[in-house]
């Protein structure tokens, strides 16, 4: 997934896993990392909001949201998200 040429295939594979197992934390985390690497912050934030509304693991969500905020140049907000994860 680190090679940008593989990102579309990786995203399709992760989406397929999530179709069959929507709460698969590994696939969720990998897809969020992929969105982050691609700068797809809007999609990632939408996904995080959706997961939060469904009661997903708040620790995982806080870490992933912190990663998104950090990548968007918002370090103080990222620190707050990381602190909520602990």
| Residue 61 pLDDT | 85
Q: What span, in angstroms and rounded, lies between the C-alpha atoms of 64 and 44?
A: 9
User: pLDDT (tens digit, 9 = 90+) per residue, 50-65?
Assistant: 888 888 777 888 899 9
Instruction: Tell me the pLDDT band of 74, cut-offs 50, 70 and 90.
Output: very high
The DSSP H or E segment spanning 35 is helix 25-38
The DSSP H or E segment spanning 76 is helix 75-85
- Cβ-contact 1, 30 below 8 angstroms: yes
User: pLDDT (tens digit, 9 = 90+) per residue, 14-51?
Assistant: 999 999 998 888 999 999 999 999 999 999 999 999 88
The more confident residue out of 85 and 57 is: 85
What's the pTM? 0.84
Q: What is the average pLDDT across 55-77?
A: 89
């Amino acid at each position: 997934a680190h090679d940008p040429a593989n990102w579309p295939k990786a995203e399709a594979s992760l989406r397929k896993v999530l179709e069959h197992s929507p709460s698969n934390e590994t696939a969720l985390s990998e897809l969020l990392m992929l969105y982050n690497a691609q700068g797809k912050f809007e999609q990632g934030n939408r996904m995080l909001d959706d997961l939060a509304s469904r009661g997903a693991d708040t620790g995982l969500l806080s870490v992933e949201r912190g990663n998104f905020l950090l990548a968007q140049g918002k370090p103080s907000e990222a620190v707050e998200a990381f602190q909520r994860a602990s």
